[in-house]
């Protein structure tokens, strides 16, 4: 098998994926994957198993041949209440340091997988968005909330540091250093109005319109230039840690690669013909 054939063989459709610890479906002819945390009776807390399955799913998205954007949401009027008190928090109190470090690295690996997957992620958040749930929203690329969204980074309220799962690196980038410091020190709730004013939310909509709005935004991204969106996500992630000069060079290389895609050529041809470009994701 040639190298190009071998690389193509690594890509596979993810629309048929069957989830075990959350719900998975696709919209927009398989281009948008919808992940729904589905333990509504307990406000959709995470477990060891759901952490691991989410991590593995986001890792596998790098090889998806169909899914081009993700919606992440929760069932029953809440997003996610964080780690399950009895299935995660209580067992952690009895673990030795090596096991605790394995757990905290796994939770961090979920955030790294979300940031590394090429698909833009749109979080659709209603109600409780706390602890690790707030981290999942923070790690998404876009966030749509409702006026009832209550976001809290609760770690200090249970005796832990606010620096969990990348919070001290990512949250200041979204809302600013001072506001992030206040939330991470106090663990207090950020209201929906505050979150919109501070730039955490891209939009606030009525609860009945939430998933539709998030899916519409994800669909718009999924029908755009897939390779170019993936490159934009990569640059947004990487350029925080480099100089402006390095960033300009990185973007020059990224843009040159995008200029070799069929999407770029088709967009020019459509522009010349005064037509609407159709992006095929290659």
Indicate whether 139 and 176 sit together in one domain: yes
pLDDT digits (tens, 9 = 90+) for 50-71: 999 999 999 999 999 999 999 9
Q: Is 1 exposed, middle or buried (0-12, 13-18, 19+ CB in 10 A)?
A: exposed
Indicate whether 52 and 180 sit together in one domain: yes
Confidence of residue 5 (pLDDT cuts 50, 70, 90): low
Within 8 A by CB and 6+ apart from 211, the residues are 34, 71, 73, 124
d(CA 115, CA 109): 10
Indicate whether 185 and 163 sit together in one domain: yes
**What is the chain's mean pLDDT, rounded?**
94
Q: Has residue 156 been placed in a domain?
A: yes
Indicate whether 217 and 233 sit together in one domain: no
Q: Which pLDDT belongs to residue 2?
A: 58
Q: Has residue 54 been placed in a domain?
A: yes
Q: What percent of the chain has pLDDT over 90?
A: 89
**Integer CA distances (angstroms), 35 to 38, 128, 155, 210, 262, in order:** 9, 17, 25, 14, 30
Task: Specify the CATH number for the domain of residue 125.
Answer: 3.90.226.10
Indicate whether 159 and 233 sit together in one domain: no
pLDDT digits (tens, 9 = 90+) for 194-246: 999 999 999 999 999 999 999 999 999 999 999 999 999 999 999 999 999 99
Sheet holding 69-74, edge to edge: 23-27, 32-37, 69-74, 121-125, 142-145, 203-204
pLDDT at 171 over 70: yes
Q: Which of 186, 203, 222 is the last residue of a domain?
A: 222
d(CA 192, CA 134): 13
Strands (DSSP E) found in the chain: 23-27, 32-37, 69-74, 121-125, 128-130, 142-145, 150-152, 189-190, 203-204
Indicate whether 115 and 157 sit together in one domain: yes
Indicate whether 86 and 129 sit together in one domain: yes
Indicate whether 208 and 236 sit together in one domain: no
pLDDT digits (tens, 9 = 90+) for 32-51: 999 999 999 999 999 999 99
Q: Has residue 280 been placed in a domain?
A: no
Indicate whether 233 and 148 sit together in one domain: no
Task: Specify the CATH number for the domain of residue 231.
Answer: 1.10.12
pLDDT at 8 over 70: no
Confidence of residue 278 (pLDDT cuts 50, 70, 90): confident
Indicate whether 142 and 258 sit together in one domain: no
Indicate whether 216 and 241 sit together in one domain: no
pLDDT digits (tens, 9 = 90+) for 90-129: 899 999 999 999 999 999 999 999 999 999 999 999 999 9
How many alpha carbons lie under 13 Å from residue 164 in its C-beta half-sphere? Answer: 27
Q: Has residue 193 been placed in a domain?
A: yes
Confidence of residue 158 (pLDDT cuts 50, 70, 90): confident
Domain count, the chain: 2
Q: Which pLDDT belongs to residue 217?
A: 98
Indicate whether 104 and 231 sit together in one domain: no
pLDDT at 144 over 80: yes
Q: What percent of the chain has pLDDT over 70?
A: 96
pLDDT at 6 over 80: no
Predicted TM-score (pTM) of this structure = 0.94
pLDDT digits (tens, 9 = 90+) for 250-267: 999 999 999 999 999 999
Q: Has residue 278 been placed in a domain?
A: no
Confidence of residue 4 (pLDDT cuts 50, 70, 90): low
d(CA 74, CA 257): 37
d(CA 258, CA 195): 34
Q: Has residue 132 been placed in a domain?
A: yes
Q: Which pLDDT belongs to residue 161?
A: 94
Q: Has residue 279 been placed in a domain?
A: no
Query: Which domain, by its residues, includes 239?
Result: 226-272
Q: Has residue 282 been placed in a domain?
A: no
Q: Which pLDDT belongs to residue 1?
A: 55
């Amino acid at each position: 098998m040639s190298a190009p054939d071998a690389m193509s063989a690594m890509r596979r459709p993810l629309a048929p994926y069957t989830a075990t610890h959350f719900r998975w479906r696709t919209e927009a002819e398989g281009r948008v994957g919808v992940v729904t945390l589905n333990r509504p009776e307990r406000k959709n807390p995470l477990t060891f198993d759901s952490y691991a399955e989410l991590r593995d799913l986001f890792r596998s998205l790098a090889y998806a041949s169909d899914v081009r954007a993700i919606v992440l949401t929760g069932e029953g009027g809440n997003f996610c209440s964080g780690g399950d008190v009895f299935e995660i928090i209580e067992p952690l109190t009895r673990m030795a340091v090596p096991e605790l470090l394995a757990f905290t690295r796994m939770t961090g690996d979920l955030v790294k997988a979300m940031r590394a997957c090429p698909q833009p992620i749109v979080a659709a958040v209603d109600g409780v968005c706390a602890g690790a749930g707030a981290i999942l929203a923070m790690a998404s690329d876009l966030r749509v909330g409702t006026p009832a969204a209550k976001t809290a980074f609760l770690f200090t309220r249970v005796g832990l540091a606010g620096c969990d799962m990348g919070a001290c690196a990512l949250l200041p980038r979204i809302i600013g250093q001072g506001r992030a410091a206040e939330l991470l020190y106090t663990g207090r709730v950020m209201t929906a109005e505050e979150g919109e004013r501070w730039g955490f939310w891209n939009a606030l909509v009525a609860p009945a319109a939430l998933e539709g709005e998030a899916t519409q935004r994800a669909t718009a991204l999924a029908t755009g230039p897939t390779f170019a969106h993936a490159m934009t996500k990569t640059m947004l992630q990487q350029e925080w840690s480099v100089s402006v000069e390095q960033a300009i060079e990185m973007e020059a290389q990224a843009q040159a690669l995008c200029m070799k895609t069929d999407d770029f050529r088709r967009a020019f041809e459509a522009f010349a013909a005064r037509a609407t470009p159709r992006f095929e994701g290659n």
